[in-house]
Amino acid sequence: MCGIVGILSEQPHSIRSNTLHMLKRLEYRGYDSVGVATLEGDIQKEAGQVDPFVATITDYETCGSIAHTRWATHGGVSRVNSHPHSDATGEFMIVHNGIIENADELQAMVPGCRPLSETDSEVIAAFFRHRVVEDGLSMEEAIQDFFRVTEGTYAVLLMRKGDERMYALKHNSPLALARVGGLAGGAFVLASDISAFSDETGEAYFFDDMTYAIVAPDAFEVFGADGAAHAMVPHSFEWSSEEATLEEHPHFMIKEILEQPQTALRLLESFRTIQSEPLTAFAAHMKRARRIVFLSCGTSYHASLIGAFMLNQLNYEAHTVIASEFENFILVDASTFVIAISQSGETMDVILPLKQIIDDCAGLGAIVNVPHSTIQRLSTVSLDLLAGQEICVASTKAFTNQVIALMGLAERLGFDIDLSVIPGKISQTLEDIDPICKHLADELSDRNEIYVLGRGAAYPMAREIALKFKEIDYIHAEGMMAGELKHGTLALIEDGTPVICLIPGSDRSMLSSQREVEARGARTIVVSNTGEGEVNVPPSGNAEFAIYACLFGHLLSYYIGVARDLPIDKPRNLAKSVTVG
């Protein structure tokens, strides 16, 4: 889950103002290291983030450049492991997003290959030099050979010193291409996703798996892995055109949390207008299915649990499973409608099982935040979350819109909920609980474990809140079904242990769990929608309560991160778009 950018322009462009500007817009995909290479063979790279790198590099103007921002998978965070990589002579230069699973076998095909780095990517450049220079293949023949022998996932941009063309290879890792007329007399831009160039154009081409492109400054051709011509049509998109800025906020996380009244309203208004027909079609697929299965990961999985809760309340057979375990726990058949939920639409753990079951199920539904992403393009019907670009690795506004989208579908199927009040209640909740969260953050910032309890629709929020404590605050947190306390976890509760209890209405079982942990000395923090808690959110039904309770968790985790002086928007070891399996 790295970010890659390539520019091939008719007139020279600046690597600092153009290439690295676009790369900065992809930094949420990885920020362990950064680098850039030019068609002339100059490579500059360093461990660390984009901004410090940009401030120190030598700027160049070039007609061809590739750049990379890395999330480390193979090999530690170091300059030598940073991309771009080249062969030993510096003639072939590559950037790569994905994992080459048989890198050792590829290395064995290149006599004398002695990689300098620990990565699986460096061998790609050596492979192409060997096949083209030593074996005498054309670039096209070498690319086709690469597809035949390589196992894994990859989006690769390749330049050869002195060759005015750029080569792009794609399999199971996202890659898009756009024509940007206002850049250096006209240029083609290749990137991991549209965020890189959405401030320059609203149209892009999206690569299919096992395809490659040969790009010249004024034209491009696309081929299948066997060398046959392959058609690729442009798609129009609407996406954040301006580069996201902090404005008056210290972090993107708090900015994105506070944007939620607006993003929720935008989504709900779309249900009455531009997404009315897609919403109806989506609900119709669900109504026809004998069984509904949600497929997702992480934060999106917690949203899907709310969806399953509401559907089961309506007597639909609904299940949700973490995508990486799909094949081990869920079977699908021709009467099963599968719904994939993903912020980026490029989550590899979701994409891989979708491709396996696409011909076996009743249809695929997608709920994503990035238009024309892989998951959306695989789907039969889809909904756009319209949350706008998230910069913080931890999802907040996109998560809330995922829950609202599922509520919109459930409402179409008969679930009793007034969606129109949600944006106003989100605004009220954020205003009311902000000082409480700041106070609690001061109290909890030195704690290294927190438990969050919930039942029913509140259970998924217990999981989500605990995840935010892990992601943002590096606190060991456990979100769990309150009824499971007595089956082991109660042994961990001692004097002063923080336990957050999510209690909608007068849930007697939750109140009983609260008393159980208090009897063992726990410091309980009750989140209530009846005015009886330490933290009070607006009156609401159980499903709706989940949204407001989670706002509390997001705000509290943010303020604890501030108190701990942590890199809130870019937590260690994490990236936003998980495009490796």
pLDDT at residue number 112:
80
Q: Which residues pair with 97 in a beta bridge?
A: 155
- φ/ψ of residue 266, rounded to 5: -60, -45
Alpha helices in 216-322 (DSSP H): 252-258, 260-272, 276-288, 298-313
- φ/ψ of residue 203, rounded to 5: -140, 140
Would you state the torsion angle of the CA atoms of residues 85, 87, 91, 96, taken in this order, to the nearest 10 degrees? -30
Rounded-to-integer distance, Cα 547 and Cα 550, Å: 5
pLDDT at residue number 579:
54
Given 3.30.70.60, 3.40.50.1460, 3.60.15.10, 3.60.20.10, which CATH number is that of 3-236? 3.60.20.10
- φ/ψ of residue 96, rounded to 5: -145, 135
pLDDT at residue number 506:
83
List the pLDDT tens digit at each of the 581 positions of the chain.
689 999 999 999 999 999 999 999 998 888 889 999 999 999 999 999 999 999 999 998 999 999 999 988 878 889 989 999 999 999 999 999 999 999 999 989 988 887 888 888 999 999 999 999 999 999 999 999 999 999 999 999 999 998 999 999 999 999 999 999 889 889 999 999 898 999 899 999 999 999 999 999 999 999 999 999 999 999 998 776 556 788 899 999 999 999 999 999 999 999 999 999 999 999 999 999 999 999 999 999 999 999 999 999 999 999 999 999 988 888 899 999 999 999 999 988 999 999 999 999 999 999 999 888 999 999 999 999 999 989 999 999 999 999 999 999 999 999 999 999 999 999 999 999 999 999 999 999 999 999 999 999 999 999 999 999 999 999 999 999 998 888 988 899 999 999 999 999 888 999 999 999 999 999 999 999 999 999 999 999 989 999 999 999 999 999 999 999 999 999 998 877 665 54
Q: What percent of the chain lies above the pLDDT cut of 70?
A: 98
- What is the C-alpha end-to-end distance of the chain, expressed in Å? 10
The answer to whether 3-236 and 432-581 have equal CATH topology is: no
Rounded-to-integer distance, Cα 336 and Cα 321, Å: 14
Helix (H) or strand (E) holding 474: none
pLDDT at residue number 242:
58
Helix (H) or strand (E) holding 510: helix 508-519
Q: What is the DSSP string of 81-150?
A: TSSPEE-TTS-EEEEEEEEETTHHHHHHTSTT---SSS-SSHHHHHHHHIIIIIS---HHHHHHHHHHH-
DSSP letter at 410 equals H
- The strand pair at 523-528 and 498-503 is best described as parallel
Q: Which is nearest to 82 in space by CA: 117, 114, 106, 54?
A: 117
The one-letter code for the residue type at 487 is: H
Rounded-to-integer distance, Cα 283 and Cα 286, Å: 5
Q: Which is nearest to 477 in space by CA: 489, 469, 485, 488?
A: 469
- Active site members: 2, 576
Residue ranges of domains in the chain: 3-236, 245-417, 432-581
**Domain spanning 245-417, CATH architecture:** 3-Layer(aba) Sandwich (3.40)
pLDDT at residue number 28:
82
Cis (ω within 30 of 0) for the bond into 278?
A: no
SS3 395: coil
Rounded-to-integer distance, Cα 543 and Cα 405, Å: 13
- Judge whether 220 and 175 are in contact, CB under 8 Å: no
pLDDT at residue number 581:
46
Mean pLDDT of the chain: 93
Q: Which is nearest to 207 in space by CA: 177, 239, 180?
A: 177
SS3 162: coil
- φ/ψ of residue 254, rounded to 5: -70, -35
pLDDT at residue number 116:
80
Rounded-to-integer distance, Cα 390 and Cα 2, Å: 16
pLDDT at residue number 240:
64
Does domain 432-581 correspond to CATH entry 1.10.10.10?
no
pLDDT at residue number 115:
80
Q: Between vectors from CA 437 to CA 560 and to CA 503, what angle results, nearest 5°? A: 115
For 129-183, what is each residue's pLDDT tens digit?
999 999 999 999 999 999 999 999 999 999 999 899 999 999 999 999 999 988 9
Rounded-to-integer distance, Cα 464 and Cα 477, Å: 10
In this prediction the pTM is 0.88
Q: Name the residue with tokens 């051709």.
A: 221
Rounded-to-integer distance, Cα 169 and Cα 577, Å: 20
SS3 117: coil
DSSP letter at 243 equals P
